[in-house]
Structure 1
């Protein structure tokens, strides 16, 4: 079997998400007995981590006495709270994921030519790179936090990774500190994996959507150019064009499903990113007292906008591919086609003029304009805090 004959599957790029959803308690198995045990596992895990982790940080924030601990706590508190909100919002819309999988599988079956397969494999590669990029950022931030905590301890003062509340003595008890540290270490790792699937699925889905729109543009532009003037070939061209119209409808459903999944989560992520960046800059300038803490919060500061960037980038990329569809429609050999074909073409061209954009909670368009607005918002918050100080 040659490379062009190998069946392709766009759903395969989401294998990491399917496995991780299973481990974080969001995707129950099909067997009844396993499902009931899984519900217990999911309930315990989400109560201890998804609910408990931001709660113990929030109580610690309320009990903070120093401004240093307050700013330090706000950064991770908002991040973990946003992660929990995104996790529940994603779980609420998890059925949309199966709808996206079904649309991708259907569109994959329409990819037949070798050039189209190569173009599609490039799209799959871009989607996979988004996962690797955010996985590297998330795990890098967690690793730098743990290293900074351990090195700081060996240098003289054992502190928790993040100021927080525990119902037992943490500072004077070795077992208390070890238990608290292990809970924070395990908890932040689980939350990072929750955050990774929450932050990578929408941009990867947008990358796949943009890739399928590009393939549709290529197919539409190709209609009629290989056919002769004979009426039978005109009928074939009309059938090919109508199939492209059906695929366009599926692509619109694809976009709507992505918007339903990421609407609330993206809104929270953009808002928290702007606030957190301003807070971290203030903390770095006025309160950081150690080189390892400085390194960690510098990494943290860079990681936050980098997690938002792929989503905004592929939101813009998707918009641009949809905008090219009108040009592709009039690039086909429509002049030699039937009257019915030309009527279908005019209707399709009129529909393609509508702007296709993913909107977060009806407020923020998911594109690069929003990304740069987030950076500006972070700077404005920093300037405000400095003036108040």
Structure 2
């Protein structure tokens, strides 16, 4: 495997590009970028979700209410996550530098192979998955609007778009631009968490591999074995501090995400059971519910992986050849084992675990609400 592929910064290059599209982390003219940033904030971050929620208030029929409410909740959640994640850009770039330091510890062919296949390829797959799914929604919404001669969403707009072609094009331009820019915001919010957790869990796994092999090479001097153990402890401390930093970065945004998913599931189920009257409506809201559930799965999965890999580290220390090492090595190994026994659990907002348990609890909640609403119907 090519050593050049062991580079965490190159994995996050598209996220950095999206942040530049949104108006920050760029080296271009600062004054022009600031003007562009203000424009995006006013038009996309504030005006777009506002016109969707005003569409709920001034809606004349139930179908319009639920269409605007479903997309409006997602849009407001996207705006909230954007404002929460944005101040952490410097911390995100700092985490990238730490990951680059950890990349330098990937030395042998087996570890490089694991890095490329289990970390790099999976992280790139996730960003590709989010890009394809999110922009597919925008394309389908645009094609549907053009086919029916309507606007993307029946939200509240100042112009009477039905009274002229130019007004229709103006409203379509606003909604298309707002939708696509909010998709970019959502990409940066939703893709960063699982990508960075994938990298962290992989580096903990590689640390375990390095620890397991300590002392098994009989040609290695005992002093070199002890030095490798000390380096492993330093790597562990660095991984622990980085995990806590990542938790602070994504915690509040994922609390908003879990809340928005719960509310959207309820809205979708209410419409599905009480107001949907045709096959298209049933299919749309069924896929809508499934899609928002899948949206939180990658981060929950890799949150579980981080916890599992840290938990396995103590077993890796035991599997090293500590029996044949001098007393100084064994005492340090015991200290390392005591450190590694600490449970590492990432939380959203300090309340909900970023873990598969939370994902399955959300699924159970959706099913419970479904049964209750079904009995009411």
Q: Give the TM bin, normalised by the shorter chain.
A: over 0.9
Matches within 5 A, 1:109-258: 109-122=104-117, 123-151=119-147, 153=148, 158-227=149-218, 233-258=221-246
- Select between 371-380 and 269-278 the one with higher mean Cα deviation: 371-380
Q: Give unmatched runs, 5+ long, in structure 2.
A: none
Are 1:355 and 2:355 an aligned pair? no
Cα RMSD for the two superposed structures: 2.0
Q: Give unmatched runs, 5+ long, in structure 1.
A: none
- Select between 241-250 and 169-178 the one with higher mean Cα deviation: 169-178
Given that 1:282 and 1:386 are in contact with CA atoms closer than 8 Å, whether structure 2 keeps it comes out as no
Are 1:320 and 2:320 an aligned pair? no
Q: CA deviation at 1:292?
A: 5.3
Q: CA deviation at 1:364?
A: 0.7
Change (3 A) 1:183 1:287: farther
Deviations 1:72-118 (A, max 9, x none): 11100010001111111110111221121111110111111111111
Q: Secondary structure at the match of 2:350?
A: coil
Deviations 1:195-226 (A, max 9, x none): 11210111000000011011000000111111
Deviations 1:32-84 (A, max 9, x none): xx112111111111111011111111122122232221111110001000111
Are 1:283 and 2:271 an aligned pair? yes
Deviations 1:271-305 (A, max 9, x none): 11121122123323443466655554444333211
Change (3 A) 1:51 1:388: farther
**Cross-structure match for 2:31:** 36
Are 1:66 and 2:61 an aligned pair? yes
- Select between 292-301 and 323-332 the one with higher mean Cα deviation: 292-301
**Cross-structure match for 2:251:** 263
Q: Secondary structure at the match of 2:126?
A: helix
Given that 2:24 and 2:33 are in contact with CA atoms closer than 8 Å, whether structure 1 keeps it comes out as no
* Count of residue pairs brought into register by the alignment: 376
**Cross-structure match for 1:87:** 82
Q: Secondary structure at the match of 1:132?
A: helix
Given that 1:4 and 1:114 are in contact with CA atoms closer than 8 Å, whether structure 2 keeps it comes out as no
- Select between 139-148 and 243-252 the one with higher mean Cα deviation: 139-148
Counterpart-to-counterpart distance in 1, 2:59 and 2:376: 20
Q: Secondary structure at the match of 1:111?
A: coil
**Cross-structure match for 1:308:** 296
**Cross-structure match for 2:23:** 25
Change (3 A) 1:281 1:140: farther
Given that 2:138 and 2:179 are in contact with CA atoms closer than 8 Å, whether structure 1 keeps it comes out as yes
Given that 2:211 and 2:229 are in contact with CA atoms closer than 8 Å, whether structure 1 keeps it comes out as yes
Change (3 A) 1:148 1:387: farther
Counterpart-to-counterpart distance in 1, 2:167 and 2:369: 37
Deviations 1:242-284 (A, max 9, x none): 0000111111122112211111111111111121122123323
- Which of 319, 324, 327 aligns to 1:339? It is 327
TM value normalised by structure 2? 0.94
Given that 1:279 and 1:382 are in contact with CA atoms closer than 8 Å, whether structure 2 keeps it comes out as no
Deviations 1:137-191 (A, max 9, x none): 212222222233233x1xxxx4332222222223333332321122112211111
Counterpart-to-counterpart distance in 1, 2:277 and 2:196: 42
Change (3 A) 1:175 1:44: same
- Which of 40, 64, 76 aligns to 1:45? It is 40
Counterpart-to-counterpart distance in 2, 1:384 and 1:64: 27
Given that 1:276 and 1:378 are in contact with CA atoms closer than 8 Å, whether structure 2 keeps it comes out as no
Given that 1:139 and 1:192 are in contact with CA atoms closer than 8 Å, whether structure 2 keeps it comes out as yes
Given that 2:3 and 2:112 are in contact with CA atoms closer than 8 Å, whether structure 1 keeps it comes out as no
Change (3 A) 1:187 1:288: farther
